[in-house]
């Protein structure tokens, strides 16, 4: 019995010892638990978020009417262009150019004809008026000496000269009135404007200054709506997706830093968005959250390199808010 009692006592001691060890490894002491909770609740000094590099003025998609064939592309990727530069020529360009030349020639001819008719009318009116003045002067001088049929013939001749002067003056005034309203000229100009508009529809010009980032449609292809992508890389930003609970800590002009392939680029917060949405950028870390509610924060970079060489690249952004209070992830 003594041997059995000793074995039972040893078994109880072993069970109690195992239980104590297990309890000690499974949970921290009250002091340790309190310390962990205080660290978790403490606000972070900086906010880290994923961001995308973009030109400050945005990425511009230069469009083409779907179904149009691109005959010629005047630029290539990497070219710098100014506002209004010709980027591409579309089908029908040659025909539209011919129509514009014809409309301009027709208008020039019509303008010349109107000017010639007006000059002829003025000259005819002035000539008729001189003839009448001379005839009237002769009649006044010698008419009183005429009698009978001679006087009648002289008065008839003077009347005919006067009527001719009136008709030519009327024709000239009518011509002047038409030219002052310029109805024919307005119609001719409308035809020119219409032809010029048709020509512009076959040309694609740069909407602003910038660099060609990507060609979407090549010469000979039928456009699906986008010709190329361009942007002004003289000023670059990072569009950071900041967790909604961190946004109250951020304000405009807060310092920030971007990591671009190991290169740190400084910047500052230029804009804090007002719309909460779902995150579009996802970390490669499988442990990182996938479905977040974020606000877009724009960070203006102090220098464009190397960001200008990696438009749309996903990078890490660190914002150091001056307001240390607030929630954090």
The reply to whether 308 and 168 lie within a common domain is no
Is residue 327 included in any domain, yes or no? no
The reply to whether 227 and 237 lie within a common domain is no
The reply to whether 82 and 102 lie within a common domain is no
Which tens digit of pLDDT belongs to each residue from 150-194?
Answer: 777 777 877 887 888 788 877 777 766 665 555 566 777 888 899
Locate tokens 């001056």: which residue? Answer: 322
Instruction: Supply the pLDDT for residue 15.
Output: 46
Q: Is the pLDDT of residue 5 over 70?
A: no
Q: In whole angstroms, what is the distance from residue 156 CA to residue 160 CA?
A: 6
The reply to whether 294 and 156 lie within a common domain is no
The reply to whether 213 and 65 lie within a common domain is yes
**Contact status, residue 64 vs residue 223, Cβ threshold 8 Å:** yes
**Contact status, residue 280 vs residue 312, Cβ threshold 8 Å:** no
Is residue 70 included in any domain, yes or no? yes
Angle at the Cα of 155 (from 150 to 161), degrees rounded to 5? 125
Average pLDDT, the chain: 81
Q: In whole angstroms, what is the distance from residue 44 CA to residue 324 CA?
A: 7
Is residue 237 included in any domain, yes or no? yes
Q: In whole angstroms, what is the distance from residue 122 CA to residue 217 CA?
A: 60
Q: In whole angstroms, what is the distance from residue 156 CA to residue 143 CA?
A: 12
The reply to whether 227 and 87 lie within a common domain is yes
The reply to whether 207 and 258 lie within a common domain is no
pLDDT band at 49 (very low <50, low <70, confident <90, very high): very high
Of 199, 220, 242, which residue is a domain's last?
Answer: 199
Token code pair at residue 87: 């980027």
pLDDT band at 295 (very low <50, low <70, confident <90, very high): very high
**What is the CATH classification number for the domain harbouring 284?**
2.40.30.170
Q: In whole angstroms, what is the distance from residue 67 CA to residue 62 CA?
A: 15
Instruction: Supply the pLDDT for residue 180.
Output: 53
The reply to whether 114 and 170 lie within a common domain is yes
- Cβ neighbours of residue 328 closer than 8 Å, sequence gap 6 or more: 43, 44, 47, 245, 246, 249
Q: C-alpha distances in angstroms, 166 versus 115, 131, 172?
A: 21, 12, 10
**Contact status, residue 220 vs residue 37, Cβ threshold 8 Å:** no
Q: Is the pLDDT of residue 40 over 80?
A: no
pLDDT band at 114 (very low <50, low <70, confident <90, very high): confident
Phi/psi-derived region of residue 32, left when phi > 0, alpha when psi is between -120 and 50, beta in every other case: alpha
Instruction: Supply the pLDDT for residue 255.
Output: 97
Which tens digit of pLDDT belongs to each residue from 78-110?
Answer: 999 999 999 999 999 999 999 999 988 888 887
The reply to whether 175 and 133 lie within a common domain is yes
Q: In whole angstroms, what is the distance from residue 240 CA to residue 321 CA?
A: 14
Which tens digit of pLDDT belongs to each residue from 211-228?
Answer: 999 999 999 999 989 999
Instruction: Supply the pLDDT for residue 152.
Output: 79
Q: Bridge partners of 51?
A: 240, 315
Q: In whole angstroms, what is the distance from residue 100 CA to residue 98 CA?
A: 5
Instruction: Supply the pLDDT for residue 131.
Output: 83
Which tens digit of pLDDT belongs to each residue from 245-284?
Answer: 999 999 999 999 999 999 999 999 999 999 999 988 876 6
Is residue 166 included in any domain, yes or no? yes
Which strand ranges, in their side-by-side order, compose the sheet holding 86-90? 70-73, 86-90, 203-205
Mean pLDDT along residues 133-153:
79
Q: C-alpha distances in angstroms, 323 versus 45, 114, 261, 268, 275?
A: 9, 77, 29, 14, 21
Number of separate helices (H) and strands (E) present in the chain: 5, 13
The reply to whether 315 and 178 lie within a common domain is no
Is residue 329 included in any domain, yes or no? no
Locate tokens 């001819």: which residue? Answer: 109
The reply to whether 81 and 209 lie within a common domain is yes
**Contact status, residue 252 vs residue 270, Cβ threshold 8 Å:** yes
Is residue 325 included in any domain, yes or no? no
Instruction: Supply the pLDDT for residue 167.
Output: 82
Instruction: Supply the pLDDT for residue 155.
Output: 78
Q: Is the pLDDT of residue 313 over 60?
A: yes
Q: Is the pLDDT of residue 302 over 50?
A: yes
Is residue 86 included in any domain, yes or no? yes
Is residue 326 included in any domain, yes or no? no
How large a percentage of the chain has pLDDT more than 90?
A: 49
When divided into structural domains, the chain yields a total of: 4
Of 199, 217, 244, which residue is a domain's last?
Answer: 199
> What range defines the domain where residue 4 resides?
1-40
**Contact status, residue 43 vs residue 315, Cβ threshold 8 Å:** no
The reply to whether 249 and 310 lie within a common domain is yes
Q: Is the pLDDT of residue 307 over 90?
A: yes
């Amino acid at each position: 019995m003594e041997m059995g009692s000793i074995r039972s006592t040893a078994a109880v001691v072993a069970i109690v010892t195992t239980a104590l060890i297990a309890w000690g490894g499974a949970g921290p002491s009250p002091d340790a638990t309190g310390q962990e909770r205080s660290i978790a609740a403490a606000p972070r000094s900086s906010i880290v978020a994923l961001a995308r590099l973009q030109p400050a003025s945005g990425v511009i998609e230069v469009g083409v009417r779907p179904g149009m064939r691109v005959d010629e592309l005047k630029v290539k990727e990497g070219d710098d262009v100014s506002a209004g530069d010709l980027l591409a020529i579309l089908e029908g360009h040659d025909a539209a150019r011919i129509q514009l030349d014809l409309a301009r020639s027709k208008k020039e001819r019509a303008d010349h004809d109107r000017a010639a008719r007006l000059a002829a009318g003025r000259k005819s009116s002035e000539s008729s008026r001189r003839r009448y003045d001379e005839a009237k002067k002769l009649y006044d001088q010698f008419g009183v000496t005429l009698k009978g049929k001679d006087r009648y013939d002289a008065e008839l001749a003077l009347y005919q000269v006067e009527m001719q002067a009136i008709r030519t003056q009327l024709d000239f005034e009518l011509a002047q009135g038409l030219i002052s309203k310029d109805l024919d000229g307005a119609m001719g100009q409308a035809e020119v404007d219409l032809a010029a508009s048709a020509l512009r529809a076959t040309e694609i010009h740069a909407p602003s200054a910038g660099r060609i980032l990507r060609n979407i449609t090549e010469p000979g292809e039928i456009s699906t709506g986008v010709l190329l992508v361009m942007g002004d890389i003289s000023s670059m930003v990072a569009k950071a997706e900041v967790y909604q609970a961190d946004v109250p800590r951020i304000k405009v002009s807060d310092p920030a830093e971007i990591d671009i392939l190991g290169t740190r680029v400084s910047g500052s917060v230029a804009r804090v968005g007002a719309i909460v949405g779902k995150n579009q950028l996802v970390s490669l870390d499988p442990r990182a959250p996938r479905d977040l509610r974020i606000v877009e924060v724009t960070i203006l970079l102090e220098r464009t390199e190397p960001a200008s060489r990696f438009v749309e690249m996903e990078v890490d952004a660190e914002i150091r808010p001056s307001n240390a209070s607030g929630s954090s992830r």
